[in-house]
A and B are shown apart, each in its own frame.
Chain A
Amino acid sequence: MTNPLRDPQDRRLPRIPEPCALVIFGVTGDLARKKLIPAVYDLANRGLLPPSFAVLGFARRDWGDGDFEDLARKAAQNGARTTWREEVWSRLAGNIKFVPGSFEDDAAFDHLAQTLDDLHDDAGIPGNAAFYLSIPPSAFPVVLKQLERTGMSDNAKSGGWRRVVVEKPFGYDLASARQLNDLVDDAFTAQDVFRIDHYLGKETVQNIMALRFANNLFEPVWNSNYVDSVQITMAEDVGIGTRAGFYDTVGTARDVLQNHLLQLLALVAMEEPTAFDADAIRTEKLKVLNAIKVPTDVFTQTVRGQYLTGWVAGERVPGYLEEKNVPAESKTETYVAVRLGIQNRRWAGVPFYIRAGKRLPRRVTELAVLFKKAPHLPFNDADVEMLGNNQLVIRVQPDEGVMLKFGSKVPGTQMEVRDIAMDFQYGEAFTDASPEAYERLILDVLIGDKTLFPDSAEVNASWNVIDPLEEAWSGSTPEPYRAGEWGPRAADEMLAREGRAWRRA
């Protein structure tokens, strides 16, 4: 029987998951403390969790429920974006449980399975659970084996749904990604696997689809007839921080290009989905990811960089090689710029320039669509000297919004045309009330909505782009750039050779 109180026309009622449990592995880690626990609190505070809801933490600590509750309370208090309400927390805390143990410990997993089963009677949760693997990928096999062994990953045995959430990195290359997928899909069924790319939880990223497919204004010019090139930038002003051990084995391309940036590219370049649902959107994203053309001459069409000592935001910062725990002769890149093409009728001949880097002048992520210049200008050459390409820029973070840049007459008695920027801020930045990406994504996992989650085919298609690049780069030394600059000179030269320049993001 469907719920008679739910009416599709009734848009005031929020979507609320069925009674369920969220099991977090690695609950003492950074991600859990800074993002997951605060997100769960915020969801509870906004009344978006079901009447029966439990959080189970699993980690190798000799703790009781009380110790864990202290940690969780601190994490939630520090990280929550909504106001702190003791009664919300005490209600949530009553259903927070901690299961101690190592991943090899069979008894601990039996205990976890038992705790989940007990929720059936104690809390009225009929077997629904999501397992959040907030652990290094190297620990995946043993944890997944344990979940399989105890039957916890089995939908039928548990009497409800069982879902698993994995974070990037989704493997190290195509082969390892496949291996990881097989592993996860073996334990769970493919449709119960949720891969989190937190960029897709951002309001502006979802707005790309609204902008493109809800309007008639942009789509007619969204093709190679009118678009000159597309620039996608993800700049960070921070360095690698304490992640040296992880970062040095990975590099920028694997860290962010493979997932965030290619997902953004897919959203900008994809065809219109036949419906706004997970399957239809995935089909279109996959098509465009498969159509990406990797440069034939990797060395003229990609640039890798590594930051040197320099000044960023008024502070002197060490170079990559001087960062703690980075090997002195490391050839890992902290900046990458690539020129990709998309082989289909819409985008043939349009270069997609993508760059990402650390220790750049400021933190910004944006997508810029640069339009071709007008085929004929009836003005004097001198009048239009300052007229550039029309641009439509979608700023993902910070200051989410859309910017349109076009030519306009300089007021005065002479005809003089110059670029002006029409800056439009709407959405996430406008209101503090809009949800953090993790909140949205955790809620979607519990509801079972896969629209904002890339699937394994998309992950594999992305690795198909990255692998040939990594292969060509192996052994080469990245170009140095000073911290606080917009990347190595070679990246500017790469665009200059084609008569273009990077936007100053």
Chain B
Amino acid sequence: MIGLWDTTGIEVVKALANERRSAGGLTSGLALTLIAVVDERQVREAEAAATIAASAHPCRLLIIVRADVTQQRSRLDAEIVVGGRLGPCEAVVMRMQGRLALHAESVVMPLLAPDVPVVTWWQCSPPERIAYDPLGVVADRRITDSAQSDDPVMALRVRSDDYVPGDTDLAWSRITPWRTLLAGAFDANRVGVKAATIVAPELDPTALLLGGWLEARLGVHPSRVTGTGKIMEAVNLELADGTAMNLVRDLNAGVATLQRTGQPDRILPLSRRPLGDELAEELRRLDPDQPYASALAAGTGKRRLGERTAPRVHIWKDPALAERPEAAAAPLQGSVAP
């Protein structure tokens, strides 16, 4: 491990090369570069998750912590860990302060592993439009987490406005266990569905996506009932032959009960996975996730999200302007950003 204080991007590149050399294993299977954009207070959580994900997908892990952009002086601190506490990956944890935080890509670009896919993951509120963040523009896959926002459902709607293929939200991987059980229950079902109800809190992005998925696959618009708990509780389906199929989560036991008219109840595993497992699921496939696009489209009332193609082009936007109106007044030299 090397710690570099108040350093430069060039020093970081050199130190990473040195650390790789002294770690011995010069060749390794490098499948991707994972850029994690993290809030200062969530660094530990993000590191733990990235460690789990890296153990399934050998990667170069670049953790970017953006601190206060209004600081007068820019400063970069970096920590380089190869095959150490962050699991079997090459990791660089970078803290950026001042205006540098708005130009994180200038440090990150030379650190990307050559010609392997880049995945950017925001473990914080993502930019309103991903095009505002060069780290999102450079990525082949972009992973957001709407649950990080104050209004997660609104955040998901923003994501659908901004969607291009290659985007996903962790709310989608959080419902994979639900979808697995529902699809499993349908394997033994021969009749269609008349109506669907989802019991979940109002501001639950997972319920929006699950509803969208059911609507896209079954052609039934699910109704919503506000439950008592803080997470999604049940999916109730009314089948064409008048019988019912309900999947009800036991909030404490990590299981769900599948109730079908005329059949004994079945208890099935349904537990919340650690963030790292959800992230690892995202990294398993680096191509666009069409089922996510259809679920998001159906859930937010958009159309044909999967057909959007245009790759993003970076749009310069200075978040500091609002806080430092004098910066906006300052004359810009050419088109170069301050």
- Judge whether B218 is part of the interface by a CB distance below 8 angstroms: yes
For A91, give the chain B residue with the smallest CB separation: B267
- Expressed in whole angstroms, the Cα–Cα distance for A424 and B177 within the complex equals 33
For B177, give the chain A residue with the smallest CB separation: A47
- Judge whether A431 is part of the interface by a CB distance below 8 angstroms: yes
B88 engages A430 (CB within 8 Å): yes
A51 engages B185 (CB within 8 Å): yes
Q: Which of the 9-residue segments B10-18, B186-194, B198-206 touches chain A?
A: B186-194
Interface set, chain A 487-505, CB cutoff 8 A to B: none
B55 engages A433 (CB within 8 Å): yes
- Judge whether A11 is part of the interface by a CB distance below 8 angstroms: yes
- Closest beta carbon of chain A to B185's beta carbon, Å: 6
A51 engages B58 (CB within 8 Å): no
For A403, give the chain B residue with the smallest CB separation: B27
- Expressed in whole angstroms, the Cα–Cα distance for A91 and B269 within the complex equals 9
Residues of A near B280 (CB, < 8 A) are: 433
- Closest beta carbon of chain B to A289's beta carbon, Å: 31
Interface centre among B184, B185, B188 (most CB of A within 10 A): B184
Main secondary structure of the interface of A (DSSP, over half): loop
- Judge whether A16 is part of the interface by a CB distance below 8 angstroms: yes
- Closest beta carbon of chain A to B284's beta carbon, Å: 8
**A5 contacts which of B88, B218, B258, B266 (Cβ < 8 Å)?**
B218
For A18, give the chain B residue with the smallest CB separation: B187
Task: Check A51/B55 contact, CB under 8 A, given A6-B183, A19-B188, A124-B188.
Answer: no
- Judge whether A102 is part of the interface by a CB distance below 8 angstroms: no
- Judge whether A423 is part of the interface by a CB distance below 8 angstroms: yes
Write out, one digit per residue, whether chain A residues 1-19 have a CB within 8 A of any chain B CB (1) or not (0).
1011111011111101011
- Judge whether B325 is part of the interface by a CB distance below 8 angstroms: no
- Closest beta carbon of chain B to A92's beta carbon, Å: 10
- Expressed in whole angstroms, the Cα–Cα distance for A123 and B190 within the complex equals 18
Residues of A near B266 (CB, < 8 A) are: 51-52, 124
- Judge whether B109 is part of the interface by a CB distance below 8 angstroms: no
- Judge whether A45 is part of the interface by a CB distance below 8 angstroms: yes
A5 engages B29 (CB within 8 Å): no
A3 engages B28 (CB within 8 Å): no
A13 engages B58 (CB within 8 Å): no
**A11 contacts which of B188, B264, B285 (Cβ < 8 Å)?**
B285
Residues of B near A63 (CB, < 8 A) are: none
Total chain A interface residues with beta-carbon distance under 8 A: 40
Residues of B near A12 (CB, < 8 A) are: 173, 176, 179, 281, 284-285, 289, 291
- Closest beta carbon of chain B to A70's beta carbon, Å: 21
Interface set, chain B 9-36, CB cutoff 8 A to A: 25, 27-29, 31
Residues of B near A6 (CB, < 8 A) are: 183, 186-187
A430 engages B29 (CB within 8 Å): yes
- Expressed in whole angstroms, the Cα–Cα distance for A19 and B29 within the complex equals 39
- Expressed in whole angstroms, the Cα–Cα distance for A47 and B182 within the complex equals 12
- Judge whether A329 is part of the interface by a CB distance below 8 angstroms: no
A3 engages B186 (CB within 8 Å): yes
- Judge whether B148 is part of the interface by a CB distance below 8 angstroms: no
A5 engages B186 (CB within 8 Å): yes
A7 engages B264 (CB within 8 Å): no
B285 engages A51 (CB within 8 Å): no
B176 engages A425 (CB within 8 Å): no
A13 engages B183 (CB within 8 Å): yes
For B294, give the chain A residue with the smallest CB separation: A7
- Judge whether A318 is part of the interface by a CB distance below 8 angstroms: no
B180 engages A13 (CB within 8 Å): yes
Task: Check A16/B269 contact, CB under 8 A, given A87-B255, A124-B264.
Answer: no
- Judge whether A156 is part of the interface by a CB distance below 8 angstroms: no
For A19, give the chain B residue with the smallest CB separation: B188
- Judge whether B313 is part of the interface by a CB distance below 8 angstroms: no
Residues of B near A124 (CB, < 8 A) are: 188, 263-264, 266
B264 engages A426 (CB within 8 Å): no
Residues of B near A91 (CB, < 8 A) are: 255, 267-269
- Expressed in whole angstroms, the Cα–Cα distance for A16 and B179 within the complex equals 12
- Judge whether B243 is part of the interface by a CB distance below 8 angstroms: no
- Closest beta carbon of chain A to B220's beta carbon, Å: 10
- Closest beta carbon of chain B to A126's beta carbon, Å: 8
For A44, give the chain B residue with the smallest CB separation: B269
- Closest beta carbon of chain B to A429's beta carbon, Å: 10
- Judge whether B149 is part of the interface by a CB distance below 8 angstroms: no
Residues of B near A87 (CB, < 8 A) are: 253-255, 269
- Expressed in whole angstroms, the Cα–Cα distance for A433 and B176 within the complex equals 18
- Judge whether A142 is part of the interface by a CB distance below 8 angstroms: no
Task: Check A431/B55 contact, CB under 8 A, given A4-B186, A16-B187.
Answer: yes
Write out, one digit per residue, whether chain B residues 248-271 have a CB within 8 A of any chain A CB (1) or not (0).
000001110010000110111100
For B247, give the chain A residue with the smallest CB separation: A51
For B290, give the chain A residue with the smallest CB separation: A9
Write out, one digit per residue, whether chain A residues 448-469 have a CB within 8 A of any chain B CB (1) or not (0).
0000000000000000000000
- Judge whether B327 is part of the interface by a CB distance below 8 angstroms: no
- Expressed in whole angstroms, the Cα–Cα distance for A374 and B140 within the complex equals 40
- Closest beta carbon of chain A to B188's beta carbon, Å: 6
- Judge whether B328 is part of the interface by a CB distance below 8 angstroms: no
- Expressed in whole angstroms, the Cα–Cα distance for A381 and B289 within the complex equals 56
- Judge whether B217 is part of the interface by a CB distance below 8 angstroms: yes
- Expressed in whole angstroms, the Cα–Cα distance for A402 and B289 within the complex equals 30
- Expressed in whole angstroms, the Cα–Cα distance for A19 and B185 within the complex equals 10
Residues of B near A14 (CB, < 8 A) are: 180
Interface set, chain A 118-175, CB cutoff 8 A to B: 122-124, 126
Residues of B near A85 (CB, < 8 A) are: 254
- Expressed in whole angstroms, the Cα–Cα distance for A45 and B255 within the complex equals 12
B281 engages A425 (CB within 8 Å): no
Residues of A near B289 (CB, < 8 A) are: 12
22 CB < 8 A contacts A-B = A1-B190, A1-B191, A11-B285, A16-B180, A16-B187, A18-B187, A50-B187, A51-B268, A85-B254, A87-B269, A88-B269, A123-B264, A124-B263, A124-B266, A422-B27, A423-B25, A424-B27, A424-B28, A425-B29, A430-B56, A433-B55, A433-B56
Given A47-B177, A91-B255, output 11 extra A-B contacts at Cβ < 8 Å.
Answer: A3-B186, A5-B218, A7-B291, A18-B187, A19-B187, A47-B268, A50-B187, A50-B188, A124-B266, A126-B188, A426-B29
A-B complex: 4 closest residue pairs judged by Cβ atoms:
A426-B29, A5-B183, A10-B291, A51-B266
